[in-house]
Amino acid sequence: MSNSRTKVIRTHEGHLLELMDENVQSVNALKSKLTRNHDRDDSRDDNDNDDGDGDGDGDGDGDSDSDSDGDGDRDGDSDNDQEHVVKKAKRQLAVQTPTGTLQVNSDDFRQYHQAKSRVRDFYREQHEKQTMAFNLQARVNFKTKTRAKMTIWDALCKLSMLIDDSDPDTELSQIDHALQTAEAIRADGNPRWMQLVGLIHDLGKILYFFDSEGQWDVVGDTFPIGCKFTDQIIFQEFFKGNPDDSHPIYSTELGIYERGCGLSSVMLSWGHDEYMYYIAKGQSTLNERALAMIRYHSFYPWHREGAYRYLMNDKDFEMLKEVQAFNKYDLYSKSLKRYGIKELEPYYLELIDEFFPAKYVEF
């Protein structure tokens, strides 16, 4: 069978769900502009440029930290520490240390070789079950039903009942992590849209309370489906139990893709990143940088380890800097500190209303 006949994702057509959703963002943008013009006397330029960085350009450039995040260990196998050191020495990505309000030791994070057994057990199940067949079906399920209608804030509060089994860095609930991330971004004077990303970037984990099969199809690092599982994926050895790992096409470097096709044409493993990306894309006015932060923040093999560069196009290299700038807040804001939800609620309710035109969101 020829390679052209086996492709299911074509770069000139774009991502499967992009075809379904291409006009939704522009409609919501218009709704939001009409609402702001009615309720406020501020000009549209003032609204668009309220980025909190003092430069008035709307792009949040007041934050100078846009390189990659820290260099915590990534190998995950306690028997291969020496090999891990060699891999880390070969990285081509710049090493980033926490700056601004995030005065922590980057080596304290993502230490998978020291992780609890629940973390290893999670990744074993995730790597074995995230197949092409599952991912296609998951996207069909997403597009064919609405699981719930609720406010963004109510959905966040629901996350107070979830502790992420894949995360070796925190034992707090997901709403605690959301507020830690958002408040760190806010403290550094970043734009309001980025503060909102900090608040909602993991909101897709609400999928766990609907029709997920466990945490393996909701949380954890993400990776491309339909091509080789790179060695830069954490606990890569667990893919041996995934049938795609020995598939004649999916196990090759390019698989169903073309070199330089762009990440928008790549199917990433289904979970909270993809889920929340499509919700935000279809029902908010967040810009493309914000959407990239949501979609790719768990794509550690890409934004941290430098893998899958051969799939990127020029736009992806621009978005990589944005995702890396966000990632330091997502990762290094994790601590034992807990914020008062009621105290912060008024501020973030206003922030949510600024970018989500409809009060009730379809999840």
Neighbours of 310 (CB within 10 A): 13
pLDDT tens-digit map of 18-58 = 444 444 444 444 555 455 555 554 444 444 554 545 444 54
Q: Judge whether 154 lies within some domain.
A: yes
pLDDT tens-digit map of 152-176 = 999 999 988 887 677 655 567 778 8
Residue 102 has pLDDT above 70, yes or no: no
Q: Judge whether 318 lies within some domain.
A: yes
Q: Judge whether 6 lies within some domain.
A: no
Calculate what percentage of the chain has a pLDDT beyond 90. Answer: 57
Q: Judge whether 5 lies within some domain.
A: no
Q: Judge whether 233 lies within some domain.
A: yes
pLDDT tens-digit map of 348-362 = 999 999 999 999 999
Q: Judge whether 4 lies within some domain.
A: no
202 assigned ligand-binding residue: yes
Higher pLDDT, 273 or 25: 273
Q: Judge whether 2 lies within some domain.
A: no
Tell me the DSSP string of 51-90. Answer: -SSSSSSSS-TT----S----------GGGHHHHHHHHHT
220 assigned ligand-binding residue: yes
Domain count of the chain? 1
165 assigned ligand-binding residue: yes
Taken in order 322, 265, 167, 208, the sign of the CA dihedral is positive
127 assigned ligand-binding residue: no
297 assigned ligand-binding residue: yes
Domain region containing 149: 12-362
75 assigned ligand-binding residue: no
Residue 290 has pLDDT above 80, yes or no: yes
Q: How confident is the model over 273-293, as a mean pLDDT?
A: 98
Taken in order 152, 202, 222, 288, the sign of the CA dihedral is positive
